[in-house]
Amino acid sequence: MDDPPPFDVETLARLAGLELPPECVAGVAENLALLAEHARRLAPDAP
Amino acid sequence: MTALEIAAAVRSGATSAVAVAESAIAAIRTRDGAIGAVTRLLAGRALAEAAAVDAAVAAGRDPGPLAGVPYGVKDLFDVAGLPTTAGAAIRRDAVPAAGDAEAIRRMHAAGAVLVATLNMDEFAYGFATVNATWGTTRNPHDPDRLAGGSSGGSAAAVAGGLLPLSLGSDTNGSIRVPAALTGTWGLRPTHGALPMAGVFPFVDSFDDIGPFAATLDDLELAWRVLGGVGEAGPAPRVARLGGWFARDLGEELAAALDALALPSVALADVERARSAAFVMTAGEGGARHLPELRRRALEFDPATRDRLIAGALMPASFYLAAQAFQAPFRAAALRVFEDYDVLVAPTVADVAPRIDDPFVTVAGERVPARAHLGRYTQPLSFIGLPVIAAPLRRPGRLPLGIQLVGRPGGEGALFALARRWEAAGVLGT
């Protein structure tokens, strides 16, 4: 990913008791963004 | 030889189970290097099981309907005395299984002979069978192409003629996708219909096991041995799923589906169903592996690690919204089955992607095959429908496959239609 993630995945990981290795940060952020996109489709008012 | 032919020859004494097992072991030793389907060759166990079958035949006892038939299992079935790796390096030295998975017990009781464990994507999370520890399973029809996954070793072992039967698991398409790409028959049964005891879990909401075979007769026999029930009934009413299932198809597959000349039916909200399956898979998979991810994330396969972590960190509201969508989508699908017994859909849009270019085209964009090969399979397993993954008959060309989809418990109608279309030359290997 070229852009920084729109949320702080390291803090999210710490909340889950996981010290996120630096090599995972971009991939986890990318996958969380993808999950958010899928979740948006499930909203009752989604197009 | 097919499984049925082997069993008949062993039961009649025309050949011995030991000779069949030795032949399968030799085939794996000489030919699997180019395929990469097998993770562990169980030669000692296979020869012992085969000797017991021969002893039963010699004593006049019934050795079972799969007498002496060699088979393999995806590396997530418990095999007594071996670690159940689930395709993960971190489980290579796991405590050995105390006993066999229930499915293996049933195969054993029917006289089948376990010969090998078979490659998969780590923890069954992928459609590629590109594994950082056990390597990439290659497509026997073209070794430069993917075999599909996550049960890629199970499909390739059958497609490559190493074994007549194998067992795999299917959460989002992990039997159906590799069956399509390798030109084998596969069955994902109704959710919960076959025993999961002793199978390493991925996503409890969707996980099921099922067989792969080179022939439809062998597929049905394995399904019945595993515990499948259901009768064919009258000629099934058949329609083709349109909408989502008609988009982004390769030309040859689109033409083959058009040639079936079936009425088209629409199922609403399929894209949402796929999204819901995607979200629930990430959530359940991530939660399952979070304890080990806390301890040793970098020992996971990079291909699955970041997706599992993301699933573990995802808000619970995502998961609950996805889960809430299951009941209405299932109800809508069941309404379609009031008018039809079997729905036909593509399994994968086109032939197997190349290993050095693992992408597929969706809506004009190139996207990774690992995550997107299941776009036609995920919405169906999301609601637990039974599906036969059937190879289109096209000798000499790369395989293409279709899904024959039934209502829950409707496997009999699927076999009836598959048999009719096999006789008509539409389906077959």
Contacts of B271 in chain A (CB under 8 A): 41
Residues of B with CB under 8 A from a CB of A: 271-272, 275-276, 278-279, 282, 290, 293-294, 297-298, 302, 305-307, 309-315, 317-318, 321-322, 325
Contacts of B270 (CB under 8 A, 6+ apart): B243, B244, B245, B379
Set B150, B151, B275, B381: catalytic member: B150
Give the pLDDT confidence score for residue A24 in this predicted structure. 95
pTM over 0.95: yes
Active site residue B74: yes
Judged against a pLDDT cut of 50, whether residue A1 lies above it is answered with no
Active site residue B151: no
Top pLDDT among B357 and A5 is at: B357
Q: Please name the residue that has the structure tokens 């979740």.
A: A39
Helices (H), B169-268: 176-182, 216-226, 251-259
What residues of chain B lie within 8 A of the CB of A19, using their CB?
294
Q: What confidence score (pLDDT) does residue B20 get?
A: 98
Is B264 among the catalytic positions? no
Residue A46 has a pLDDT of 66
Closest residue of chain A to B289, computed from CA coordinates: A18
ipTM comes to 0.91
Positive or negative, the CA dihedral B239, B407, B285, B136 is negative
Segments of B342-384 assigned E as strands? 342-346, 359-362, 365-368
A11 interaction partners in chain B (CB closer than 8 Å): none
Phi-psi region of B192 (alpha: psi -120 to 50; beta: other; left: phi over 0): left
The low-confidence residues of chain B, meaning pLDDT below 50, are: none
- b/e code B227-254 from CB counts within 10 Å (16+ = b): ebebeeeeebebbbbbebbbbbbbeebb
Q: Which of B271, B275, B306 sits opposite A28 (nearest CB)?
A: B306
Say whether pLDDT at A47 is over 60. no
The answer to whether the CB atoms of B275 and A16 lie below 8 A apart is: no
Element (H, E) at A23: none
At B398, give phi and psi (nearest 5°).
-65, 140
Residue in B269, B313, B318, B375 to test binding to A, most A beta-carbons within 10 Å: B313
